[in-house]
Structure 1
């Protein structure tokens, strides 16, 4: 995937998000529309149908069209999703300098956490721009774990039984070698909580 300003703008605007996937012992970074990180979209469409928000025909069309026909994402059909979304896969090369690390912003945020002194609007915005480039979703098919940090929607309701699913910080689950937000010893993940 070629990372460019359009991708950064879509992340900043919330049109897209980043997910860290684990499947068959391999990990993948994917940038996509956040609704594509839903594991069971059929539950969503069924709720719209039951509420009368969509017709039976609209329901059937939506189920066929969603995510290239991968309505319920599983470990078995995840490779199809990846293949169909190959232009959305981020490589470790793509992630180099991805966050736009800013040592001055980091220093000011740390000072804020330590002293409580407010941040200027410019520093606050810059911290949020940087944190918009962090993953908001974690899906581990091997361990059946779905976590997200998207407070706009209750994604955890759209997983199959037997999964651990919650809205919580999942950074501890990301291997140290994959944490592209750690730059020169500075863990920029803390900017997410400003």
Structure 2
């Protein structure tokens, strides 16, 4: 087993246990047992279980990017298709990892700096900024805000919309309406 595989096994095991029993009730011993590694191996990569939080958040962002990369490139030749793919992917990832997302937010804000959080998001912002630059260069969006500013707004709206539905919704909320409202907001921002 490669060194990096052991680190990934620890992260995946921690994610499963955190989802089942919660962060506070999980011990390093439980994590290493599930990962099939020695306790000393854990400490090669992490000083404490708190240090797992950025790795878990980074894993979720990478999953989002992996899911987006599975769309054919020609899917993103127009803004409405791009918006639809972003919404579907963000809602899918949020649903998949909803038990860990709130934990990551609170853990990163408590244990780590927001600079680390932004660094984690750099590949995602770059991905969105590249698409925005393409749309701007081809006069497909009317907004002349910089791609950095638009990218931050888009990510914020996407995450807020998906998290409001999956983390804070009441039983009256409708998934399709939530996605439609988000789509309207993004269309108004870009077109």
Fold shared per TM-score above 0.5: no
Which TM-score applies when normalising by structure 1? 0.28
Which fold has the larger relative contact order, with Cα–Cα distance below 8 Å and residues 6 or more apart in sequence? 1
Query: Greater strand percent: which structure?
Result: 1
Query: Greater helix percent: which structure?
Result: 2
Which TM-score applies when normalising by structure 2? 0.28
